[in-house]
Structure 1
Amino acid sequence: MKYAYEDLSPEQFEKLVVLLCKRLLGISVQGFAKGPDAGKDAKFVGTAELFPSKSAPWSGTTIIQAKHTNGYNKHFSESDFFSTTGSSNTIAKEIPRIKSLREKKELDHYMLFANRRLSGNAESEIKTYISEQCNIPQSFLYLCDVEQLENWLKEFPCIPEMAGIDPVDSPLIVSPDELAEVVHALAKEMETVQAAFDTPPTPRVPYDTKNNLNNMSEDYAKEQRKRFLKETAQIQRFLAAPENMELMRRYESVVDEFQLKITAKRKDYQTFDDVMNYLADLLLNRDPILRQNRRLTRAMLFYMYWNCDIGKNEDAETV
């Protein structure tokens, strides 16, 4: 893939979809606006310019939805996104809204864009389900997956620039892969070591000073220290062990990436509490190994902060 769609923010992905639909349908496509039920739709009313084709364009009201995920290699067919038996998956939640718009004659055609992969079987199953549930002909439904989106952007190469999906302007997104390896190995060691070490490593900058430098709230800082301080000594010992030299290199690679991303995007977050929570949520959502070790993942993030590997320090001029 030319673009890392999972690294976009939901707002960037929505903007990308709107700009594409302006090319496919027409310039009068209205952007995503939150409705009374918190759903977000874009809309086009009229005769499409190019879609599905110039010779047989859609005509009427087209409702457009964009569903973004931070996950890697996700699929339309995954149960959290589509299931004919569940009621809490993404598409099931949209069915009442689509049906309501259809009944009020405010929807003739429906387009769903997602940065997920779509197999032929899944496309047929999902279209059949929406068609039967909402009384919409299948020919009036369009599902766009990440591969088709990539093809559209090759057809209209100016759209990514217009959408501002330059990597320099990407949101605070970090890769969980190397951290997952470190956490997995550390978790295995902790299974054999029942008691954590009593004496935590001394932070390079006093904790209170670092909290002031980074605008971490007093309550959040106290809670972090209470929950995770006892793990810091064992994490330090684990990383310093000669047999874990390769894992230490991976850890250093992780903190380098985290620190650069945090420095670049720090202004987007009011407090460092927000940064820590965002990183934890992002990592846990994107990697199954980290999800299996939630507490240890959060402890590792705290260790990075406590050890002055991420965030502002007295000896570093960071934004």
Structure 2
Amino acid sequence: MKYAYEDLSDKQFEDLVVFLCQKLLGISVQGFAEGPDGGRDAKFVGTAELHPSKAAPWVGTTIIQAKHTNGYNRRFSESDFFNAESNQNVIGEEIGRIKTLRDGKQLDHYMLFANRRLGGNTESVIRAHISKECGIPEASIYLCDIEQLEKWLKLFPEAAKLASLDPIDSPLIVSPDDLAEVVQAIALQREELSKILDDPPAPRISYDKKNALNNMTPEYAEAQRKRYLKETAQIRTFLAAPENDKLLQMYESVVDEFQLKIIAKRKDYQTFDEVMEYLVDLLFGRDAVLRQHGHKRLTRVVLFYMYWNCDIGEVGDAETK
């Protein structure tokens, strides 16, 4: 069975890696715990049962890292994950931590699991880079990508059961596909829309009341209104045009999905500021159209329109304004 690893939470992915490593290394693999530098490692001390083979197992202290992304079809070779010329990426940030553990004789072998794809050339380059920077033999470094993860789970399917990969427990994950099409269409007609003189639509309830109901902080609410309110009229006009009926249906499908997911997962966030920023980061991470420079701001405008128009978030029983 294949899993949508991008729809897991970081904790679910970490749990999956721990249970797999208990099969590969041994039952005494310790789960992920936050270190003094904020990083999260799992650890195994002893002689590995199966890795890299029964005939020549690793011996000593193995440090395990799990790097999860909610993005679709991501790769180890992307610059946010690895760039030999910079430390402003996932591997670059790990190098310092690996060095510290190695210098303190707390690391003999290193395993990195990520739900990304890894080509043979990239695997060799990254392994050689970690080896050179941290003084670890290349044979003591193992990189596991999504394809290898699938192979391990076919051998050890019980690991997925133990990790409780239940969709009910998944984080706030929404599909960006329909929204990307709506945003792209608005962007194409934006110049014409900007010529329309119209007042922004009034929210269905008082903005202040809605913010209080949803626990959106005054500072965040004011920043949103100041930046994006003037553009909500363009979106309303665009969606109301008869020729855009299909796009309106897409928009309505998007808000239905967003609202239901938000209701289900709202307890995981202290403020609605966090919900909005999480959605923005998730959408940019999962869709190349939305994270294009020209579409990033417009995506935020559309999300604000959803909130202002009371398509997402609580409205309670407050009177309409």
TM-score of the aligned structures, taking structure 2 as reference length: 0.91
**Paired residues of 2:6 and 2:68 also in contact (CA < 8 A):** yes
Shift, 1:236, TM fit: 0.9
**Paired residues of 1:61 and 1:107 also in contact (CA < 8 A):** yes
Shift, 1:277, TM fit: 1.8
**Paired residues of 2:193 and 2:238 also in contact (CA < 8 A):** no
Is 1:179 the equivalent of 2:179? yes
Match of 1:45 in 2: 45
Q: 1:315 to 1:165 in 2, by over 3 A?
A: farther
Is 1:119 the equivalent of 2:119? yes
Q: 1:297 to 1:63 in 2, by over 3 A?
A: same
Instruction: Choose from 291, 297, 306 the match for 2:308.
Output: 306
The secondary structure found in structure 1 opposite 2:304 is helix
Q: Supply the distance in 2 between the matched residues of 1:132 and 1:208 (Cα, whole angstroms).
A: 56
Shift, 1:275, TM fit: 1.2
**Paired residues of 1:197 and 1:234 also in contact (CA < 8 A):** no
Q: Supply the distance in 2 between the matched residues of 1:84 and 1:212 (Cα, whole angstroms).
A: 47
Is 1:69 the equivalent of 2:53? no
Aligned residues: CA RMSD: 2.0
Q: 1:17 to 1:313 in 2, by over 3 A?
A: same
- Aligned runs of 1:224-263 on 2, under 5 Å? 224-263=224-263
Deviation digits for residues 1-23 of structure 1, max 9, x if unmatched?
A: 82111122222211211121112
Which residue identity lines up with residue 89 of structure 1 in the other structure?
Answer: N
The secondary structure found in structure 1 opposite 2:248 is helix
The secondary structure found in structure 1 opposite 2:273 is helix
Shift, 1:195, TM fit: 4.2
- Aligned runs of 1:207-286 on 2, under 5 Å? 207-286=207-286
Shift, 1:196, TM fit: 5.7
Q: 1:217 to 1:102 in 2, by over 3 A?
A: closer
Shift, 1:39, TM fit: 2.2
More displaced 10-residue stretch of structure 1: 274-283 or 110-119: 274-283
Shift, 1:48, TM fit: 1.0
Deviation digits for residues 228-265 of structure 1, max 9, x if unmatched?
A: 22111110110111111121111111111101110110
Q: Supply the distance in 1 between the matched residues of 2:28 and 2:157 (Cα, whole angstroms).
A: 20
Match of 1:19 in 2: 19
Q: Supply the distance in 1 between the matched residues of 2:83 and 2:229 (Cα, whole angstroms).
A: 42
Is 1:56 the equivalent of 2:65? no
Deviation digits for residues 257-289 of structure 1, max 9, x if unmatched?
A: 101110110111122222112112222233232
Percentage of matched positions with identical amino acids: 69
Deviation digits for residues 174-201 of structure 1, max 9, x if unmatched?
A: 1112111111111121133444643122
Match of 2:103 in 1: 103
Q: Supply the distance in 1 between the matched residues of 2:25 and 2:289 (Cα, whole angstroms).
A: 42
Deviation digits for residues 87-115 of structure 1, max 9, x if unmatched?
A: 32221222232233223322111101011
Runs of 4+ in 1 over 6 A off after TM superposition: none
Runs of 5+ unmatched residues, structure 2: none
**Paired residues of 1:6 and 1:70 also in contact (CA < 8 A):** yes
Match of 1:163 in 2: 163
Q: Supply the distance in 1 between the matched residues of 2:196 and 2:286 (Cα, whole angstroms).
A: 28
Is 1:7 the equivalent of 2:7? yes
More displaced 10-residue stretch of structure 1: 235-244 or 188-197: 188-197
**Paired residues of 1:197 and 1:231 also in contact (CA < 8 A):** no
Q: Supply the distance in 1 between the matched residues of 2:265 and 2:253 (Cα, whole angstroms).
A: 19
Q: Supply the distance in 2 between the matched residues of 1:254 and 1:103 (Cα, whole angstroms).
A: 51
More displaced 10-residue stretch of structure 1: 273-282 or 256-265: 273-282
Q: Supply the distance in 2 between the matched residues of 1:34 and 1:61 (Cα, whole angstroms).
A: 17
Aligned length in residues: 316
Which residue identity lines up with residue 136 of structure 2 in the other structure?
Answer: I
Q: 1:86 to 1:216 in 2, by over 3 A?
A: closer
Q: Supply the distance in 1 between the matched residues of 2:82 and 2:166 (Cα, whole angstroms).
A: 31
The secondary structure found in structure 1 opposite 2:142 is strand
Q: Supply the distance in 2 between the matched residues of 1:82 and 1:105 (Cα, whole angstroms).
A: 25
Q: Supply the distance in 1 between the matched residues of 2:197 and 2:230 (Cα, whole angstroms).
A: 7
Shift, 1:171, TM fit: 0.4
Match of 1:294 in 2: 296
The secondary structure found in structure 2 opposite 1:46 is strand
Q: Supply the distance in 2 between the matched residues of 1:101 and 1:216 (Cα, whole angstroms).
A: 41
The secondary structure found in structure 1 opposite 2:259 is helix
Which residue identity lines up with residue 270 of structure 1 in the other structure?
Answer: Q
Q: Supply the distance in 2 between the matched residues of 1:196 and 1:69 (Cα, whole angstroms).
A: 41
Which residue identity lines up with residue 297 of structure 1 in the other structure?
Answer: T
**Paired residues of 2:193 and 2:234 also in contact (CA < 8 A):** no
Which residue identity lines up with residue 87 of structure 2 in the other structure?
Answer: S
Shift, 1:55, TM fit: 2.8
